[in-house]
Amino acid sequence: MKMRQIYIISALVVVLVVILSAAFTFEQTLQEERNLSSDLQYRTRLLADSLTESVEPSYQVNSAKSLEGLLAKFTGRSRLAGLAVYDSKGQNVAASTDFPEAILTTPPLVADAIANDAAKGDYDQVYGRNLYLFAEPLHNTGGAVIGVLLVAQSADYIGSYVAQIWEGSALRFLILLLVFLLILALLIRLIILRPLHNLVESVKTARTRGETGAGLEGIREHAFFKPLVGEISKMTKSLLAARLSAAEEARMRLEKLETPWTAERLKEFIKAYLKDRKIFLVSNREPYIHSKTKNEITAEVPASGMVTALEPVVEACGGTWIAHGSGNADRETADVNGKIQVPPDDPKYTLKRVWLSEKEVNGHYVGFSNEALWPLCHLAHTRPIFRKEDWKEYRRVNNKFAQALLAEIKDVDQPLILVQDFHFALLPAIVKSSRPDAQICLFWHIPWPSAETFSICPWRKEIIAGMIGADILGFHTQAYCNNFMDTVGKEMESMIDLERFAITHGNHTTYIKPFPISIAFASDKPALPADRSVLEKLGIGTIHIALGVDRMDYSKGILERLKGVELFLDEHPDYKSKFTFLQIAPPSREAVAKYREYNEAVTREAERINKKFAEGDWRPVVLEKKHYTHEELAPLYRLSNVCLVTSLHDGMNLVAKEFVAARDDEMGVLILSQFTGASRGLAGALIINPYNGEQIAESIYGALTMPAAEQKRRMHSMRESVKNYNIYRWSAELIKAATSF
């Protein structure tokens, strides 16, 4: 049981006690208030009866002065707020000096007593005081009503007494609560926390070092934990046996590429291949982001294929990962050098965070990386924006990361460095100039355009010079490698070897190789059940479902996809109310104006199509603009008949591979853009031109009407492709290439 649950249970107990205590106190005060009120009314009636006998003779002789003198004799008594006499018309005749002026004019109580010839009593508030008013009729010798005696008694003491009861009850409750919490804290510490801590240490030791039984000695005879201790001992022994078996199996399969690669096999490969060499990885995105919410710090793993691919590599050799510290609690959790051991629950390597100012982030990441390089490399008809100030910040940040890296490798012989993506195009050459012995691999996770397209960049020569400072330069496809070779041939004086696919500039040679990145395909894991409740929560009840999963990015072709859906419904109206297109598109890079504009355009288009085709509660398009985890996407992949990937230009597109991996039933159809890197390896997909809306529409119809046998044939082929070349094999081949020259 987590401490949070214990606190919640304790809080519920306290709340329950508070409610019960308040209920008993309320009942007590209510009864006391009734008793005091009844007593006040009784005493007031007695006083009025006794005064009436004295007042009636004086009133009959019509002597107001004698009446006031008589009333004055009774003033000053405890709790008596005043006396007044009224005639048969309700006009005040006489009153004691202390009688409240606010009720001198005929109160309703007086008129009621005269009309009914009966004594009347009621409570009233005057000038913030609680009063009990009692009107007693006055009679002549013939028994006729000639006036009214009004007695005003203070009732403030009733409220004061009730308040004292509440205060006393609250004080007693607080004392009992403190005693309860103190006893609870001692019990939790002695009976639960201390033994539980030993249990945690025992499990952690078994998990990290493979030792069984450590930390259990002090609690083996503890009655509360005895059953759990026995199970943990058995579990740790089984875990150790499984680990040894997995390690042995991984070692036996190291050089057999035809067998599936796993994270464990990758780790064994790194240990065997690199021996004791350290790996230093540089990326803009960090593998763990620490965030603080309501004084609670949590570590989050960003949704990134790069993290999945490269963390086992860095873990296997206890390496160092250098990245931008972007979390609001990153500084708080790191040491003075910006370092922290990760993963948080089982540290295996060092995360070195580099701090960037807002100006540096805006210039390096928002500006040059995402408003210049990204649209330049993605042929999506969005004009790149080149600003000199962004270029300066891009160079500054590349230098800052390079200096941080050089400080880490100063005492390391022949360090192996993996640089990730277009954020650090200049870094390889900077590091190589200071450490020529370093082996550097730069992997470019986005497309590389044609030489003519790249030539519009004002700083193209500096970017290329920085990139070919690496020993290995990796792209997703051979076509991108070809484009890069052409670009270098056009822009730089260098020797280009097309046979070895190598570029020699000065005295340094860079090898250009394709490494098509993939996903962590796990065929041995049981698939999540296809529970349609996830669709019902989204308001989807149709039998045919098409799915799109993308960041809200203009290169993903979401607008073109929506146009294809519209044309499909125009051409096949019999699918109305039977078909739904679900687009999951979390906002991305909202600091960039083009992304904000695209977000608005997609929203408008979805609303327009829904308005055009809406019938009853049915909407043809469901647009979900929030992030979904892999666990949340898995059932959606399995429930969808079609997955639409219509990128206008995409380095690889892992959504296509995730959809294939999720379909262990070998059903469903993938519609895939010809402009994605994934289209080269997924031959079972329906390949389309995303700019052709009619082709998208017909592909949707073809997918929905495709026979089950053909679906299985196509999906089986794609699943074999993804399984045989998964992300762990990608990492292994990248490392092997980086160290083979």
CA-based nearest residue to 117, from 139, 142, 132: 139
Beta bridge partners of 621: 581
Residue 686 confidence (pLDDT): 98
Q: Say if 502 falls within a structural domain.
A: no
Shared-domain flag, residues 561 and 636: yes
Q: Say if 91 falls within a structural domain.
A: yes
Shared-domain flag, residues 552 and 677: yes
Shared-domain flag, residues 223 and 185: yes
d(CA 724, CA 721): 5
Residue 49 confidence (pLDDT): 83
CB-based contacts of 26, cutoff 8 Å, min separation 6: none
Residue 262 confidence (pLDDT): 83
Residue 431 confidence (pLDDT): 97
Final residue in a domain of this structure, among 333, 354, 375: 354
Q: Say if 629 falls within a structural domain.
A: yes
Could you give the number of structural domains in the chain? 4
Shared-domain flag, residues 234 and 274: no
Shared-domain flag, residues 564 and 616: yes
Range of the domain at 707: 533-724
Q: Say if 476 falls within a structural domain.
A: no
Shared-domain flag, residues 203 and 278: no
Shared-domain flag, residues 175 and 143: no
Tell me: the pLDDT tens digits for 313-347?
Answer: 888 888 999 999 999 999 999 999 999 999 988 88
Q: What is the mean pLDDT of each run of 10 residues along the chain (741 residues)?
A: 65 78 81 84 82 75 68 73 83 80 78 85 81 86 82 82 81 80 76 67 60 52 56 62 55 56 84 86 94 87 74 86 94 94 90 96 95 92 94 97 96 94 97 96 96 96 97 96 96 93 94 92 61 90 95 94 97 96 92 93 97 94 91 93 96 93 95 95 96 97 97 96 89 89 71
Q: Say if 41 falls within a structural domain.
A: yes
Shared-domain flag, residues 213 and 84: no
**CATH number for the domain that contains residue 62:** 3.30.450.20
Side chain identity at residue 566, one-letter code = E
Q: Say if 611 falls within a structural domain.
A: yes
Q: Say if 654 falls within a structural domain.
A: yes
Distances, alpha carbon 560 to alpha carbons 196, 535, 625, in Å? 56, 24, 17
Shared-domain flag, residues 563 and 591: yes
Residue 3 confidence (pLDDT): 58
pTM of the model: 0.68
Residue 235 confidence (pLDDT): 64
In the block, which residue shows the tokens 């929560």? Answer: 537
Residue 233 confidence (pLDDT): 63
Shared-domain flag, residues 601 and 713: yes
Shared-domain flag, residues 212 and 90: no
Shared-domain flag, residues 38 and 186: no
**CATH number for the domain that contains residue 591:** 3.40.50.2000
Strand spans (E) along 242-363 = 279-282, 289-293, 296-300, 320-324, 339-342, 349-354
Residue 696 confidence (pLDDT): 97
